[in-house]
Amino acid sequence: MAPRFVYTIKDLENGVREVREPLPPPWLAEILEGTDVTAPSPVDGQLEASLTMAGRNVLVRGTVRATVVIPCARCLQPATFPVEGELALLLVPDKPPKGKSPNTKGNGEKKQRSRAVEGDDDGYQIEPGETELDTFTGDEVVLDGFVREAILLELPIFPLCSEACPGIGALPSETAVPATEESQIDPRLAPLLELKNKSKV
């Protein structure tokens, strides 16, 4: 499936881009594939973010909200959970302009915590620890991977359908018959049981 959340640098140069978009059901189903997590029907999820040019870099701040279904850790029945993840990214070009030195070793896959003040030609500064540092390629910013990560990182570690969930118990059999003295006795001793019953009369 083609990336869903794609924004061009040319559009961002015109000013702050405010994003408010739903998470499409096919997209959400695809990013959850291979996990125990599924999306409810109808799908409930949204990306709200602002993208701002900071010199040659792109600052992304926003929130990802989604509702997911996860098996309860005790009873294994499906349970619904709302999740909310934050986006705080400073994306730099993976290839610096000609004659410039790269200012990051990010590869677009593994994010690194920014440990230094990031400046640009316009004097815009990001304080240390405010954002995650990563890269974008070409003239487009693709947020799909970051949105997916924001959802997965907020999933409960020990999901419970309720705090009072008793867990998986022994299910009673519909055909179970209460044990009686006759059903428990060795068949070879049945004649003796018959004599015993007659003696009680």
Q: Token digits for 142?
A: 């693709």
Strands 112-113 and 78-93: unpaired
Closest CA relative to residue 77, chosen from 157, 159, 173, 164: 159
Q: Which residue has the higher pLDDT, 4 or 197?
A: 4
Could you tell me which of 4, 159, 188 has the C-alpha nearest to residue 83? Answer: 159
Tokens of 19: 């994003």
Interval 56-70: pLDDT, tens: 999 999 999 999 999
**How do residues 166-191 score in pLDDT, each as one tens digit?**
887 644 444 444 555 555 566 677 77
pLDDT score recorded for residue 114:
38
The two beta strands, 6-8 and 140-142, are antiparallel
Amino acid in position 133? L
Structural domain spans, the chain: 6-153
Residue that wins the pLDDT comparison between 29 and 192: 29
Q: How many whole angstroms separate alpha carbon 122 and alpha carbon 183?
A: 90
Q: How many CB atoms lie within 10 A of CB 159?
A: 19
pLDDT value of residue 75: 93
CA distance 65 to 86: 9
| pTM given for the model | 0.66
- Higher-scoring residue by pLDDT: 9, 100: 9
pLDDT at 129: 56
Where residue 96 falls among pLDDT bands split at 50, 70, 90?
A: low
Higher pLDDT, 198 or 24: 24
User: How far is Cα 68 from Cα 88, in angstroms, rounded to an integer?
Assistant: 22
* Torsion angles phi and psi, residue 92, rounded to 5: -115, 155
